[in-house]
Amino acid sequence: MRVVFMGTPDFAVPSLDALVDAGHQVLAVVAQPDRPKGRGKKLVSPDTIVRARQIGLPTRQPRAINRGPFRDWFTSAEFDVAVVVAYGRILKPWHLAAPRLGCINVHASLLPAWRGAAPIHWAVVNGDARTGVCTMKMDSGLDTGDVLLRTQTDIGRDETTGQLWRRLSQDGAALLIRTLADLHQIVPQAQDHSAATLAPLLTKADGLVDWSWPAQRVHDRVRGMNSWPGAWTTFRGDTFKLWATRLLPTKDAVDGALPGQVQESGRRLVVRCGSGSVEILEAQFPGKRRQPGAALVNGARIAVGQMMGGAG
């Protein structure tokens, strides 16, 4: 097939590679513009653009996708399908109508669950036991199109968003190739819109941990925000990033300890939650490197009874 590939982050790279490996003709890789990153604010190209240049594919990074040169090109190019994988922009009806066979999206959830920009994050934060990937015939709604194929997988109890992201990117690539191979015989399945849940774009504020939550919810928030935007609490008036926790048996909770209170600070760093406790396996003070909980106890002199959370 003649394909225009629209995708921006590293999640989309396996799908791009799979298209090339399967022999599809990729006319162009379309991604968002380069963005400034790091302290020096140096412009950095999206992962899909980097990969496209490595394998010699044409690239386009339009700032305006609804007018001007990009619209002229997109509507005049002759291609069978647009494959959209985490492109990061909403397509208009004229985008959807331009390819001969329409636009196909690879979405990292079991639709209609977790429609939106951050389905992997919210599945983990929500403590879901299962998730997956769907291929979808795009329409003008937010991830509301008919589902073509789907694949499911369990979410590990301690699995982070970053780990699940990498797994689902590979699952999505394989599902995409199956979808294109069988496109003419797949019977699209309408979604149950009444069962939809939303996965909005994340901000750093979403990483805030409330220690009055049950330990399971705290643990799910920490792993759900790893790798980005990162879970955090306040401690000694500073932002204290939480990279990894372990859910402890209820019997390990100390009677009388308050939510957010350090209840162990020896060979492990344990904090009381609204119910139950978590061990902080890895965390980080501002301007410092990530460290294991036990190392933080010694280096920062974290003591039993000290409080996390609250003002600051």
Domain end position, chosen among 161, 195, 229: 195
Domain count, the chain: 2
What pLDDT score was predicted for residue 311? 46
56 pLDDT above the threshold of 90 = yes
Domain annotation covers residue 306 = no
> What are the CA-CA distances from residue 112 to residues 107, 108, 124, 187, 283 (Å)?
10, 11, 16, 17, 35
Q: pTM for this one?
A: 0.95
Distance CA 183, CA 159 (A): 33
pLDDT tens digit string along 63-114?
999 999 999 999 999 999 999 999 999 999 999 999 999 999 999 999 999 9
pLDDT tens digit string along 193-247?
999 999 999 999 999 999 999 999 999 999 999 999 999 999 999 999 999 999 9
What pLDDT score was predicted for residue 45? 98
Domain end position, chosen among 195, 219, 239: 195
What pLDDT score was predicted for residue 38? 82
Domain end position, chosen among 195, 221, 237: 195
Distance CA 59, CA 52 (A): 7
Q: Do 233 and 165 reside in the same domain of the chain? A: no
Q: What residue numbers bound the domain in which 267 lies?
A: 204-300
pLDDT tens digit string along 249-290?
876 656 678 999 999 998 999 999 999 999 999 999 999 999
pLDDT tens digit string along 170-197?
999 999 999 999 999 999 999 999 999 9
Q: Do 167 and 261 reside in the same domain of the chain? A: no
> What are the CA-CA distances from residue 23 to residues 42, 144, 176, 186 (Å)?
35, 29, 13, 20
What pLDDT score was predicted for residue 39? 80
> What's the alpha-carbon Rg for the chain, to the nearest Å?
22
Domain annotation covers residue 68 = yes
